[in-house]
């Protein structure tokens, strides 16, 4: 049965991985099948190669492989350019325009690509995203914790920042930052405090929450259930399910 809401996943991926978790999948076709099973209409996706091998290789493999899929949209992984391993921000912007890319992510953690999530390394990328209103998605564990949200939003107050892979024990730190900044958003799949979504909607508005699943590492159906069964209005559910993400992507100026 089709969902009453139009779900647009902001956090999905596919591709072979160094470690494949039990029950997960890796093929693009499996992702599309799971999306259909959970009534998820569209998804922003990155390729596993962009995280576990080389971002530039993975980014272009992604665009080649999803070019005929009307419900999959590319998210490119980025790195600092100073060592010559990655394009400069100006060249990156040209390639994004050419490939219809409107969202970025990165994997700076020591267990991933091992570079500092700081102004001196990534500031030019953040400035580019801020200037062109490009949504920037990053897992909480990749950015080194919630304190990074504070300095990043302070340094780049117009950067559309979507923090993904949050946990259920975050509210004491999350609420003061939601009060302080208007330019960052929470992806909901890991946000599972009791009536957490309802409380965010009541205090800060549904516009601060964005639907994502984390597939294939997480179960897409659980994320759909978080929104579908939240004690909020249908209008708020539609905003979280797809409206907020569409608004961010619609504001990109390439």
Picking from 212, 30, 70, 36, the residue whose alpha carbon sits closest to that of residue 139 is: 212
User: Torsions phi, psi of 33, nearest 5?
Assistant: -65, -45
Q: How far apart are CA 96 and CA 109, in angstroms?
A: 24
- The pLDDT tens digits for 121-180 are 999 999 999 999 999 999 999 999 999 999 999 999 999 999 999 999 999 999 999 999
**Is the bond preceding residue 216 a cis peptide, omega within 30 degrees?**
yes
Give the pLDDT confidence score for residue 85 in this predicted structure.
Answer: 95
User: Torsions phi, psi of 180, nearest 5?
Assistant: -80, -35
Give the pLDDT confidence score for residue 17 in this predicted structure.
Answer: 87
Query: Which DSSP helix (H) or strand (E) runs through 94?
Result: helix 89-99
Domains (range + CATH), the chain: 7-250 (3.20.20.140)
Q: How far apart are CA 72 and CA 140, in angstroms?
A: 24
User: Torsions phi, psi of 116, nearest 5?
Assistant: -75, 130
For residues 59 and 73, is the Cβ–Cβ distance under 8 A?
no
**3-state class percentages of the chain: helix first, strand second, coil last, to nearest 5:** 45, 15, 40
**β-pairing verdict for 184-187 and 161-164:** parallel
Give the pLDDT confidence score for residue 92 in this predicted structure.
Answer: 98
pLDDT lower than 70: segments of the chain: 1-2
Give the pLDDT confidence score for residue 4 in this predicted structure.
Answer: 84
Give the pLDDT confidence score for residue 2 in this predicted structure.
Answer: 64
Give the pLDDT confidence score for residue 21 in this predicted structure.
Answer: 79
Q: Identify each DSSP E strand in the chain by its residue range.
A: 7-14, 40-47, 72-74, 76-77, 104-105, 136-139, 161-164, 184-187, 209-210
Give the pLDDT confidence score for residue 179 in this predicted structure.
Answer: 96
Give the pLDDT confidence score for residue 109 in this predicted structure.
Answer: 97
């Amino acid at each position: 049965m089709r969902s009453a809401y139009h779900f647009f996943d902001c956090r999905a991926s596919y591709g072979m991985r160094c470690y494949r978790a039990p029950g997960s999948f890796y093929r693009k076709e499996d992702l599309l099948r799971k999306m259909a099973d959970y009534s998820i209409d569209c998804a922003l996706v990155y390729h596993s190669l962009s995280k576990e091998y080389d971002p530039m290789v993975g980014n272009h493999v992604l665009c080649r492989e999803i070019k005929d899929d009307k419900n999959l949209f590319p998210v490119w992984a980025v790195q600092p350019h100073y060592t010559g391993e990655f394009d400069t921000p100006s060249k990156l912007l040209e390639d994004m325009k050419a490939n219809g890319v409107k969202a970025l992510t990165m994997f700076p953690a020591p267990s991933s690509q091992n570079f500092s999530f700081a102004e001196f390394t990534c500031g030019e990328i953040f400035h580019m995203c801020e200037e062109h209103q490009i949504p920037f998605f990053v897992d909480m564990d990749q950015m080194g914790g919630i304190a990074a949200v504070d300095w990043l939003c302070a340094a780049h107050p117009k950067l559309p920042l979507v923090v993904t892979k949050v946990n259920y024990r975050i509210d004491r730190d999350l609420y003061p930052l939601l009060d302080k900044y208007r330019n960052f958003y929470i992806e909901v799949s890991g946000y599972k405090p009791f009536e957490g979504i309802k409380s965010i909607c009541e205090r800060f508005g549904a516009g601060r929450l964005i639907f994502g699943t984390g597939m294939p590492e997480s179960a897409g159906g659980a994320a759909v259930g978080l929104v579908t069964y939240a004690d909020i209005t249908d209008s708020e559910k539609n905003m979280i399910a797809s409206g907020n993400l569409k608004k961010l992507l619609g504001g990109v100026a390439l």
